[in-house]
Amino acid sequence: MALAELESRVTSAVEAVAPSVAAVETLRLGRRGRGEPWGSPAQATAVVTDREGLLVTNQHVVEGATHLTVRLSDGRELPAEVVGGDEVTDLAVLKVDATDLPAARLGDSEALRVGQFVLAVGHALGLPGGPTVSLGVVSALARPLPGSDFVFEGLVQTDAAINPGNSGGPLVDLSGAVVGINTAVVPFAQGVGFALPIHAAQRITAELRRSGRVVRPWIGVQVAELLPPLARQLGLEPGSGLLVAEVVPRSPAHRAGIRSGDVLTGVGPFPVRTVRQLLEGLAKFPVGADVALAFRRRGASLGANVPLQEAPQAAADDR
């Protein structure tokens, strides 16, 4: 691709998505020691996803906010209410009283490839004059966030600069389609940012619109993938399943007899080799269903029926 062609595609992509990028202004009111009120204002970004006034942003943007204002690309400033939020995926859905909004075109995050050009668009640093744009590539796919045990679906890693204020803004391909929602940056690293894939954001958005929260099935185990170093230490075959590191007391797995040291190999008819496969397998069944777990213990193949339970709020990092 010639440089002039790349430049043309970048500018066209920005022009396509910019009308759908909004600024979010939050205010968290509280009281000081003597009772006098004080406020903590902040700015972030949201993406219009529905013509009838729905936008998505990050949950950490709206958490604890007492006042929310959305500034649309046409200059209108509207109060916003939170339809629902999900801490696990850091996604929130907002509603403003407006219609015929310029909804962003959503792309196919499942088709992303490492090395593909992407743009991070958002109201970086809350600077006036509209959203800013940074160009980078998809650095990796299905990434866990460093320092976290669990990220739903896995994140898109990019080296497109994501700065304070970009939170909740779109990650865009060169066609102008949104392929992710920017969510985090590693402050001690250079060029390491993360976005929630748009296919995951769409599913979470649908649940938040329907019930204001996300219901996840839970069995109550903490697991580790059998990567070669860990597998060698334990004398197990790399990639042969998921090591159960801990079982939550009185959880469904505990009542079914699952123990620390067991190796999970299947959920119902679905093989399990990675955390993502476990989460996707569990998600195939409704809360309350009895699910057959296949596992190995000291080389023996065993099974147990486990009743799925709704994940407790405090157990967001457990399966």
**Cα torsion 70, 72, 77, 83: sign:** negative
Any residues with CB less than 8 A from the CB of 296 and at least 6 apart, and which? 241, 262, 263, 265, 302
Pair 80, 132: CB distance under 8 Å: no
Question: Quick one: tokens of 262?
Answer: 């067991």
Q: Is 67 a catalytic residue?
A: no
Catalytic residue among 86, 90, 159, 262: 90
150 in the Ramachandran plot: left (φ > 0), alpha (ψ -120 to 50) or beta? Answer: beta
Q: Is 199 a catalytic residue?
A: no
* C-alpha of 50 from chain center: 19
The number of beta carbons lying within 10 Å of the beta carbon of residue 114 is: 11
Catalytic residue among 50, 60, 149, 199: 60
Question: Quick one: tokens of 196?
Answer: 């929630």
Catalytic residue among 20, 134, 139, 167: 167
Q: Is 149 a catalytic residue?
A: no
Question: Quick one: tokens of 188?
Answer: 């001690």
The number of beta carbons lying within 10 Å of the beta carbon of residue 191 is: 16
Q: What is the set of active-site residues?
A: 60, 90, 167
